[in-house]
Amino acid sequence: MDAKELILSGKTALGIEFGSTRIKGVLIDYEGHVLASGWHEWENSLVNGVWTYSLEEVDEGLRSCYSALRKDVEAKYNVTPKTFGAIGISAMMHGYIALDKDDKQLAPFQTWRNTNTTKAADTLTELFDFNIPLRWSVAHLYQRILDKESHVKNIASVFTLAAYMHYKLTGCKVIGVGDAAGMFPIDSEKLDYDSDMISKFDNLIRDTGLKLREVFPKVLVAGDEAGNLTQEGAKLLDESGNLEPGIPLCPPEGDAGTGMTATNSVAPRTGNLSAGTSTFAMIVLEHKLSKLHREIDMVTTPSGFPVAMSHANNGTSDLNAWVNIFHEFCDLMGVKADIGELFTKLYTHALSGDKDCGGLMSYGYYSGENITFINEGRPLFARMPSSNFTLANFMRAHLYSSIGAVKLGMDILLKDEGVKLDLLMGHGGLFKTPLVMQKFLAAAVNSPVSVMATASEGGAWGIALLAAYLVDGKRTGKLEDYLNQRVFKGLTGEAVNPDPEDVKGFEEFTKRYVAALEAEKAAINSMNW
């Protein structure tokens, strides 16, 4: 069949991912080829000290994204989609959406970006002897209990954003195991929440009357049936009214799981780095780590393999802000510069900078950073009087810094724990400019880094692949079989090996990055306007 026939017959998979700054939808065939796409730009808000999105914004963004995708289909193929083989919903992991028994929102949606859960995370980490990061859903829930917030007594459901939207579309209170691993620790053998830790948590909060399994969604793995699009869900998704109910949905996943899927990094000794508003690197493990590390999250692949994650709350936001300043300067000078071309030129120019960035230092901390144990953010650029202050070094410093915190976590895994990594895949828009970030990342982890042509498709493509796996891919075998044999077969990405001089330069930059964290802390203490 050609693309039009596939769309008319419903032999396609739709993936929609709620990212931090963009909601993106991708329509694919069962081999992973992109047929159409659409997106909706949005941004979180800091309201009363909480990073949040209103749930009205979530609904509006979903409709806008799907409407853009539907119009793309209509423009390209002169048909209006009425059904799909399967749908998948993904979103930023972690956070806290609490509903009562009537599905009414009880408290502001707290995103992964919030770091107001220190006491809860510390208590639970000690209780479980397992790292509970500040952004995990169980930390948010327990902090609300510690703070004696009045809404706790009325909690009937706690969701991540992906699980919440899946619930609205299907009425099914379920979650993919990868996203669930950002709510509560997972037992990778049982592919479920860790039962011993659940017992400890339920005992800890016994006075509230809450039971974790009653309020958290049920855990599913890739390929499991996760419900069907309801009449109400179809109306919510497609404002034109053309979409028919009954379409199956795959388990909702977090952006970590979709990133692993989109880079074919779901088997042991594979890994990927996803760069965006937050930046995280993941390695699928062959065995458990030797000890607990507060800098490292333990999550899973969409199939349940254990994964060690170095997750930085801050990624490219400050880098993007600086590029926008240069764009504004071009406008001031009467130069019509395409923003995409400006990114490419500035990134490429960074290759000519000093290997250690000439003594320049940047912290793109818009919010707190868990890897460096800093609970608030102040974007900061600094240099010594003797630093080599050039445009190339300026851009190189910001590109290094965008993965600076992630590198600290990767150093723990690769150097201290001796985790084996055959190849790291770069993923996300940061890698659209050829070779630049690929070369810098290879230097940061001192390992080969590959970027495929599909890298910029992002997590929406990843969740679309998981939807395709549900409806058609399982006949190929396991998820990794489907990806290897049908999606990534013939897709190659040239691996870049680390340059020894780049490695040496990045190590020097990292030493300064750690040493100058005191300046970031001082900025937090003194800049409070």
pLDDT digits (tens, 9 = 90+) for 120-131: 999 999 999 999
Of 226, 224, 217, 219, which Cα lies nearest the Cα of 177? 219
DSSP string over 104-170: -B-SPPB-TT----HHHHHHHHHHHTS---TTSHHHHHHHHHHTT-GGGGG--EEE-HHHHHHHHHH
Residue with structure tokens 């489907």? 482
94 lies in a domain?
A: yes
242 and 340 together in one domain: no
Mean pLDDT of 234-246: 97
Domain assignment of residue 459, yes or no: no
Nearest partner of 253 among 293, 215, 220, judged by Cα:
220
Position 221 scores a pLDDT of 97
Spatial separation of the C-alpha atoms in residues 183 and 175, rounded to whole Å: 10
Mean pLDDT of all residues belonging to the chain: 94
Rg (CA), the chain: 22
Segment 429-436 mean pLDDT: 86
| Residue 397 one-letter amino acid | A
Q: Which residue shows structure tokens 């930059």?
A: 509
Residue corresponding to tokens 């972690």: 94
Residues 246 and 382 in one domain: no
HEC states along 89-107?
EEECCCCEEEECCCCCECC
- Percent of the chain residues topping a pLDDT of 90: 85
Do 61 and 147 belong to one domain? yes
For the segment 185-198, what is each residue's pLDDT rounded down to a tens digit? 999 999 999 999 99
For residues 182 and 175, is the Cβ–Cβ distance under 8 A?
no
> Please, which pLDDT band fits residue 385 given cuts at 50, 70 and 90?
very high
The residues that bridge with 174 in the sheet, in sequence order, are 218
pLDDT band at 359 (very low <50, low <70, confident <90, very high): very high
**What are the CA-CA distances from residue 526 to residues 116, 374, 522 (Å)?**
20, 15, 6
Average pLDDT of span 103-120: 94
Backbone angles phi, psi at 291, to 5 degrees: -160, 170
Instruction: Find the CATH number of the domain harbouring 122.
Output: 3.30.420.40
Q: How far apart are CA 414 and CA 468, in angstroms?
A: 34
How far is the C-alpha of 357 from the C-alpha of 376, rounded, in Å?
25
Structural domain includes residue 499: no
**Distance of alpha carbon 99 from alpha carbon 105, whole angstroms:** 5
| Co-location of 345 and 250 in the same domain | no
Instruction: Say whether both 38 and 144 belong to one domain.
Output: yes
The burial class, CB within 10 Å (0-12 / 13-18 / 19+), for 454 is buried
**Residue keyed to tokens 């300067």:** 329
How is residue 139 written in tokens? 């930390």
Count Cβ atoms below 10 Å from residue 426 Cβ, excluding itself. 24
End-to-end CA distance of the chain: 61
In a domain, 297, yes or no: no
Residues 39 and 122 occupy one common structural domain:
yes
pLDDT digit string (tens) for 256-305? 899 899 888 898 888 999 888 888 899 999 888 999 999 999 999 999 99
Distances (CA, A) of 329 to 29, 322, 335: 43, 11, 9
For residue 198, what are its two tokens?
């659940």
Of 216, 231, 254, the last residue of a domain is 254
| pLDDT over 80 (residue 429) | no
Q: Is the pLDDT of residue 61 over 90?
A: yes
Q: List, for residues 76-108, the tens digit of each pLDDT value.
A: 999 999 999 999 999 999 999 999 999 999 999
Domain C-terminal end among 381, 402, 423? 402
The token duo for 159 is 């969701």
**One domain for residues 241 and 328:** no
Q: What pLDDT, on the 0 to 100 scale, is given for residue 485?
A: 93
Domain end marker among 353, 369, 402: 402
Residues 62 and 200 in one domain: yes
**Which pLDDT value is given to residue 457?**
66
DSSP state of 424: E
Are 158 and 39 part of one and the same domain? yes
Decide if 446 is inside a domain. no
Name the residue with tokens 């964290």: 517
Residue 492 pLDDT more than 80?
Answer: no
Confidence tier at 491 by pLDDT (50, 70, 90)? confident
Asked if residue 516 is part of any domain, the answer here is: no
User: Considering the domain boundaries, does residue 507 fall inside one?
Assistant: no
pLDDT per residue over 197-223, tens digit each? 999 999 999 999 999 999 999 999 999
List the one residue out of 380, 330, 388, 323 whose CA is nearest residue 356. Answer: 388
How do residues 442-464 score in pLDDT, each as one tens digit?
Answer: 999 999 998 876 655 678 999 99
Q: Give the pair of three-digit tokens for residue 364.
A: 């793109």
- If one counts the domains in the chain, the total is 2
Indicate whether 210 and 329 sit together in one domain: no
Same domain? For 352 and 206 the reply is: no
Q: What is the pLDDT of residue 454?
A: 65
3-state secondary structure of 35: strand
- Identify the pLDDT of residue 115: 83
User: In whole angstroms, what is the distance from residue 465 CA to residue 50 CA?
Assistant: 33
Q: Is residue 250 part of a domain?
A: yes
List pLDDT tens digits, range 388-415.
999 999 999 999 999 999 999 999 999 9
pLDDT (average), residues 500-527 = 97
Q: Is residue 150 very low, low, confident or very high in pLDDT (cuts 50, 70, 90)?
A: very high
Check whether 7 has a pLDDT greater than 70: yes
Residue carrying structure tokens 């707190």: 368
Q: What residue numbers bound the domain in which 367 lies?
A: 320-402
**What is the distance between the alpha carbons of residues 35 and 76, in angstroms, rounded to a whole number?**
9
Query: What does the block give as tokens for 133?
Result: 């990061």
Query: Same domain for 363 and 225?
Result: no
Q: Which of 95, 414, 456, 468 is nearest to 269 (CA)?
A: 414
